[in-house]
Structure 1
Amino acid sequence: MSLSEPILVFDIGGTKVAAAILEPDFAVRQRSEIATNAAEGPERVAERIAALGRTVLDGYAREHPDRQPPRRAGVASAGQIDRATGTVSYATFHLPGWIGFPLGSRLSAGLGMPVAVDNDVNCHALAEAVLGAGRPYR
């Protein structure tokens, strides 16, 4: 697995949201995080996540003006995700009101770029397979 350009990435959990730029060599740049504050509801949380993403993008552009900025984003989210639509199919009490929430389309609108969403455990397993303990077994 390889990347041809940098990607804006998010990890959404019940207590915090982390964001960063993942470069083609898998270097992590501009890492930042905020509290999820899930009780505010999914619309408000998505607005805050998009704002976090814009802040990370701005910082990356300032620190690396010679590099291509990300043109797409990937999200690892708690809950069951419909990958085709980016909608949260099921979420625990840690993310109240998120069932049926169109996370991908909301973040895409807030960031002005395509956004892919998957379950956080799926994303973590893929990263482990590509970059971690599974690497020697590919």
Structure 2
Amino acid sequence: MAGSPHFARIKADVLRIMASVPAGQVVSFADIGTHLDVMPRHVAYILATLPDIEKATLPWWRAVAADGSLGTPKRAPDGTTQAALLAAEGVMDPAAALVAVAALPHGVQRQTRPAITPAAPPRRRRSPRSAR
């Protein structure tokens, strides 16, 4: 999954959205997932597995659960917790600081996965003998 072109596109979109979240505001994994038509856990996975260089340049700490909770404690490469990073931006109650992904200036179009259509049954080939 992590090496597929689809994953690369989703990751790039998540990073663009996160880069557009202003200080003092947060977005939810669920809202990003809805915007990109992926599961919130995929968004959380992408942000949880960022290399340290990306963690140092991207405001990953501005993504929270849909209810505003922080969930599993997360830390920056320097050891600073997500809660401390949010508090430094004046966010004491992440639920009150939630902003809609659609309201941010990220430029990522809302995604819709194509509906899954059932595969057609395999066609039977005629054997050369039955053609006579």
Normalising by structure 2, report the TM-score. 0.27
Q: Greater relative contact order (Cα 8 A, min sep 6): structure 1 or 2?
A: 2
Normalising by structure 1, report the TM-score. 0.26
Compare CA radii of gyration and give the structure with the larger one: 2
